[in-house]
């Protein structure tokens, strides 16, 4: 499989609650298997079906060479979220696996070994609080991604623009110039697949506020001018309303969009940095220049500077039901620290101090500050409650597809009326959840 929404297929599903009676196996030693004898066989579950018979076994051989007497087998899972969630319930889910997004944070200890304290591991790794609970870390990211714009810079240059636009207005002006001068689709929404529209919700870092995840659920009206949803969703509305997207959003195709941007038929998409290698591969396959593909920050500055959120992809964990936790933990530590997997995937290395891959270094060189936003603490879980209560799928695509329909004249309303409706629904839910 070549399609990856993120470098490791980060799920976009809403967190579900597993059956309360599910348990993962024997009790924990609270060290994730560290300190035991490193020998014997382990099974590693992976969603990377495209690498399960090539790159991953090669990493396995390196590990086995370092630790003679060990053997690493890989179990590829196509429907990772659904199938592994079922396996968790059965108690048989390998030795090392990626934590499904269906596992609520307060259930992590039922299925996975704690790897250490949050305070201890924060000094060594990025993204550790994304799968932590009650001061304990249960999963380590295998690589991180940044959020921004995948662009064909050759097309932007043909329109006279050689540097990332600094404001939404400049961005819209640039898209209009592309339409006028190049014949390319200025901005591709991927409306039909839907999930790429969720990246308009991944831009909170643009405000330069490290406390935004705690402040956001405290705000009863985030679609007011100057606030984050107005800025991001408002830009989407203006792009569509200005006729700067594909001719018919109902016919977009994610796989088909890769060669389109790679060859210059499309100029811009809002995605994660994980998409850059895919677009470059598409350029090679089409006989185009992979160096035409670049990654730019979202067109908004705070304090005269771009900011972009970086976040961990799937987190790898040691199974609580594993019969060989020492080797499982050794594999996890080796894979994160020594395998080079993140760099091979052009991802942000999870180990603090390791250099960024070339593509992300170029992104940083545009003047963007990479921001790891802490999870909400005071208002932990409140945002998910408001989303559920308001039925506004903030991380999804349904309400944004309606926004696109309104903006292109296929549904009634305008920007002001739709944002007023969203603010009312969100505000009503907010008053019930935050009282």
Q: Specify whether 91 is located in the same domain as 173.
A: no
8-state DSSP, 322 = -
Pairing of strands 293-296, 144-152: antiparallel
Strands, E assignment, 159-304: 268-272, 293-296, 301-302
- The answer to whether 197 and 189 have CB atoms below 8 angstroms apart is yes
Q: Specify whether 138 is located in the same domain as 202.
A: no
φ and ψ at residue 275, rounded to 5 degrees:
-75, -20
DSSP string of 136-193, one letter each residue: EE--EES-EEEEEEEEEHHHHHHTT--S--SSHHHHHHHHHHHHHHT-SBSB---TTT
Q: Specify whether 152 is located in the same domain as 297.
A: yes
| Number of Cα atoms under 13 Å in the Cβ half of residue 320 | 25
Q: Which residue in the block uniquely carries the two structure tokens 């390319």?
A: 184
Tell whether 50 is covered by a domain.
Answer: yes
First to last CA, the chain: 46
User: Structurally, how many domains does the chain consist of?
Assistant: 2
Which pLDDT score is estimated for 4? 38
Taking the C-alpha atoms of residue 66 and residue 217, their distance in angstroms, rounded to an integer, is: 47
Tell whether 13 is covered by a domain.
Answer: no
Tell whether 67 is covered by a domain.
Answer: yes
The beta-carbon contacts of 411-416 under 8 Å, at least 24 apart in sequence, are 415/234, 415/237, 415/238, 415/241
Coil, strand or helix at 255: helix
Q: Specify whether 111 is located in the same domain as 165.
A: no
8-state DSSP, 351 = B
8-state DSSP, 245 = B
Tell whether 6 is covered by a domain.
Answer: no
Q: Specify whether 274 is located in the same domain as 324.
A: no
Convert the pLDDT of each residue in 40-93 to its tens digit: 999 999 998 888 999 999 999 999 999 999 999 999 998 898 899 999 999 999
Q: Specify whether 305 is located in the same domain as 326.
A: no
- The answer to whether 293 and 262 have CB atoms below 8 angstroms apart is yes
Tell whether 428 is covered by a domain.
Answer: no
Taking the C-alpha atoms of residue 175 and residue 160, their distance in angstroms, rounded to an integer, is: 11
Alpha-carbon dihedral sign for residues 373, 374, 377, 380? positive
8-state DSSP, 406 = H
Taking the C-alpha atoms of residue 397 and residue 244, their distance in angstroms, rounded to an integer, is: 19
Tell whether 136 is covered by a domain.
Answer: yes
Q: Specify whether 169 is located in the same domain as 203.
A: yes
| CATH number, domain containing residue 119 | 3.40.190.10
Q: Specify whether 295 is located in the same domain as 325.
A: no
Q: Specify whether 151 is located in the same domain as 111.
A: no
Taking the C-alpha atoms of residue 166 and residue 170, their distance in angstroms, rounded to an integer, is: 7
Taking the C-alpha atoms of residue 361 and residue 363, their distance in angstroms, rounded to an integer, is: 5
Give the residue numbers spanning the domain of 220: 146-310
* Domain end (from 259, 287, 310): 310
Tell whether 386 is covered by a domain.
Answer: no
Q: With residue 109 as reference, give the H or E element that holds it.
A: helix 108-111
Q: Specify whether 136 is located in the same domain as 185.
A: no
Tell whether 25 is covered by a domain.
Answer: no
Closest by Cα among 242, 71, 85, 257 to 168: 242
Taking the C-alpha atoms of residue 201 and residue 195, their distance in angstroms, rounded to an integer, is: 11
The structure's pTM equals 0.81
* Domain end (from 254, 284, 310): 310
* Domain end (from 349, 367, 400): 349
Q: Specify whether 76 is located in the same domain as 216.
A: no
Question: Which residues of the chain fall short of a pLDDT of 50?
Answer: 1-29
Which pLDDT score is estimated for 16? 39
Convert the pLDDT of each residue in 3-23 to its tens digit: 334 444 333 333 333 443 343
Q: Specify whether 300 is located in the same domain as 175.
A: yes
């Amino acid at each position: 499989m070549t399609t990856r929404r993120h470098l490791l297929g980060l799920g976009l599903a809403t967190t579900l609650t597993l059956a309360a009676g599910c348990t993962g196996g024997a009790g924990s030693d609270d060290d994730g298997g560290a300190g035991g004898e490193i020998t014997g066989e382990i099974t590693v579950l992976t969603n990377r079906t495209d690498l399960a018979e090539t790159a991953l076994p090669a990493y396995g051989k390196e590990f086995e060479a370092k630790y003679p007497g060990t053997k690493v087998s890989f179990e590829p899972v196509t429907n990772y979220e659904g199938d592994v969630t079922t396996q968790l319930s059965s108690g048989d889910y390998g030795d090392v696996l990626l934590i499904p997004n269906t596992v609520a944070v307060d259930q992590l200890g039922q299925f996975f070994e704690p790897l250490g304290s949050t305070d201890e591991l924060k000094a060594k790794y990025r993204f550790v609080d994304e799968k932590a609970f009650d001061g304990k870390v249960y999963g380590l990211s295998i690589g991180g991604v940044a959020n921004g714009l995948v662009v064909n810079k050759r097309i932007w240059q043909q329109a006279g623009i050689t540097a990332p636009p600094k404001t939404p207005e400049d961005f819209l002006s640039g898209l209009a110039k592309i339409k006028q001068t190049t014949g390319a689709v200025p901005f591709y929404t991927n409306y039909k697949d839907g999930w790429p529209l969720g990246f308009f919700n991944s831009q909170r870092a643009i405000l330069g506020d490290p406390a935004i995840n705690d402040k956001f659920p405290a705000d009863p009206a985030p679609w007011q001018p100057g606030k984050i949803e107005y800025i991001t969703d408002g830009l989407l509305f203006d792009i569509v309303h200005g006729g700067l997207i594909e001719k018919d959003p109902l016919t977009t195709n994610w796989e088909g969009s890769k060669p389109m941007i790679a060859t210059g038929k499309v100029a811009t998409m809002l995605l994660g940095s994980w998409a850059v290698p895919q677009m470059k591969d598409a350029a090679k396959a089409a006989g185009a220049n992979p160096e035409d593909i670049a990654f730019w920050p979202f067109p908004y500055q705070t304090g005269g500077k771009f900011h972009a959120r970086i976040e961990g992809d799937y987190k790898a964990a040691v199974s609580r039901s594993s019969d060989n936790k020492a080797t499982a933990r050794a594999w996890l530590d080796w894979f994160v620290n020594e395998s080079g997997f993140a760099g091979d995937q052009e991802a942000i290395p999870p180990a603090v101090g390791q250099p960024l891959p070339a593509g992300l270094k170029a992104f940083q060189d545009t003047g963007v500050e990479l921001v790891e936003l802490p999870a909400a603490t005071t208002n932990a879980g409140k945002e998910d409650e408001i989303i559920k209560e308001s039925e506004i799928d903030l991380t999804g695509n349904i309400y944004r597809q309606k926004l696109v329909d309104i903006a292109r004249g296929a549904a009634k309303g305008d920007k002001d009326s739709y944002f007023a409706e969203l603010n009312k629904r969100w505000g009503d839910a907010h008053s019930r959840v935050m009282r």
